[in-house]
């Protein structure tokens, strides 16, 4: 079976507007501009698209899994159902320790095994250092978006948003080997 390439995507701040607390109410859940176009471009080039998201509000009792799933349905509807899978870590370190929770890489590692993903051809796009740390631990290349944080790793690329990140990824895949 041929290895697949993938773009792992953090959710809040990459795909939808970061609200500063928890994005779980449908009326406040806003897909960022150019996200559907960026996902379509990546999909056309053969990338799997997998969301990797911490959702500690579930463990804290702020919202229910059903609220998160409703937001994921809205995201899929807005983006023409281009996302292949969603991995989420509902725990919080003060309530229930979990290796799935970013900055650990278990969510990525599970997806890599399930979908036969080649880490050397894959990327993690995030907006905070824990996203980048998870990607680096899983052995994928990384892009920090949004400009709120500076990447700690010298090999992490920077982009304004997912559209620009997609352009960097596609430019890299066109380079001669």
Distance CA 114, CA 111 (A): 5
- The average confidence (pLDDT) of the chain is 90
Task: Identify the CATH number of the domain in which residue 54 sits.
Answer: 3.40.50.1000
120 is catalytic: no
pLDDT digits over 21-47, tens only? Answer: 788 888 899 999 999 999 999 999 999
Cβ(5)–Cβ(118) under 8 Å? yes
Confirm whether 2 is domain-assigned: no
Check 10, 67, 127, 161 and give the catalytic one.
Answer: 10
Mean pLDDT of 103-126: 97
Confirm whether 1 is domain-assigned: no
Find the domain containing 70 and state its range.
7-173
C-alpha distance from residue 148 to each of 14, 114, 174 (Å): 12, 32, 29
Q: Look at residue 173 and tell me whether its pLDDT is greater than 90.
A: no
12 is catalytic: yes
Number of domains in the chain: 1
Confirm whether 33 is domain-assigned: yes
Question: pTM of this prediction?
Answer: 0.92
Closest CA to 32 of 74, 2, 60: 74
pLDDT digits over 123-138, tens only? Answer: 999 999 999 999 999 9
Q: Look at residue 12 and tell me whether its pLDDT is greater than 80.
A: yes
In terms of DSSP bridges, do strands 85-89 and 48-54 run parallel, antiparallel, or are they unpaired?
Answer: parallel
Confirm whether 87 is domain-assigned: yes
């Amino acid at each position: 079976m041929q290895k697949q390439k993938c773009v792992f995507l953090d959710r809040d701040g990459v795909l939808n507007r970061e609200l500063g607390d928890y994005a779980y109410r449908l009326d406040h859940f806003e897909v960022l501009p150019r996200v559907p176009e960026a996902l379509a471009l990546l999909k056309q080039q053969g990338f799997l698209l997998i969301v990797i998201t911490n959702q500690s509000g579930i463990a804290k009792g702020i919202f229910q899994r059903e609220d998160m799933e409703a937001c994921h349905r809205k995201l899929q509807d807005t983006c023409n159902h281009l996302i292949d899978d969603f991995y989420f870590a509902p725990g919080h370190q003060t309530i229930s320790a979990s290796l799935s929770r970013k900055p650990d890489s278990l969510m990525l590692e599970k997806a890599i095994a399930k979908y036969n993903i080649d880490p050397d051809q894959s990327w993690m796009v995030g907006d905070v250092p824990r996203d980048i740390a998870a990607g680096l631990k899983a052995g994928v290349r990384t892009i920090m978006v949004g400009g709120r944080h500076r990447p700690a790793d010298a090999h992490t690329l920077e982009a304004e948003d997912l559209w620009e990140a997609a352009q960097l990824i596609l430019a890299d895949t066109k380079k001669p080997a």
